[in-house]
Chain A
């Protein structure tokens, strides 16, 4: 609503319509640069965690690496928003409460106890979808997640 009224006011005053747009664009890009930096950081943290945990639990990433990439991106997003890498493959009534409670924070309790990851991030070798990799690069994640 704001944008339309301000644009209409600018047009009525006879000033160039693009003036408010430019300033808003600048502010937005500065904010997004800062947000991107923190996003990048969580993405890198979650990528390293996934590699490390896969090696430690002797599990493997999915043979379709885009699944792995999307899940890591989801974990990073939750880490940014909620402060904890809540599992992105569940529906929660209250995400913040779940993150505080911790049962579904990655690695979740079923994963730690029984190596069950329904997100298909950590797959045991006998799983049909398991690949052979325990490593994923940041480029792979960025390429796979840019499609969505």
Chain B
């Protein structure tokens, strides 16, 4: 078996007396898209933030390729270059145009010269379909466009893996599709992705594996079909049913295969009814 890109061993995060998650194990192989689902307050976002060291775990190890990034003395700024992060609230640099948002890391972190950085930044914007918005400021872009710029900004660093923290949760429903489309393309292009989302349509279509987390534990993980049709735990079934009802319709409303999706998006409907 090839070396996984990301290996998480017995990861634990505690705030005060509050255990966010305990002894999480997870591996992500090259080219995989893993979707993490679960109720809010389950530690999914904190898990992502631990992975790119924006917060520090209280126990366990994280390995990126063959390096333990949680080891003492690891160069955290270097680690973060290799791990792209997309936030729920986009977090673009508000004082910079779309192009300069993507360019900043290239010139300041990768020390590319201005011309090369600009060309690369422009390419990345093109990849997310925003080359015509290159000179707009974040305040002049829609939420969906801002999130796509944020994806381009992370991609520009040529990361080994991309982390998405509920990338569509802050978007108006009609803007979710364009962001998911970019993510879908990215997944198909072979990018390794770890996605926290409630978008079940996306999870079913794109995920190689779905991880169901609750109360700081991984309850169950497996292929989309396994989790939707043959969940091992009743709790998984309940959650998937609830979340599909809540979010599934929204995405299907403007999708071309709405009819088909509506049917297949409701796992175990009969049993629950």
| Bind each other | no
- Residues of B at the A interface (CB closer than 8 Å) are none
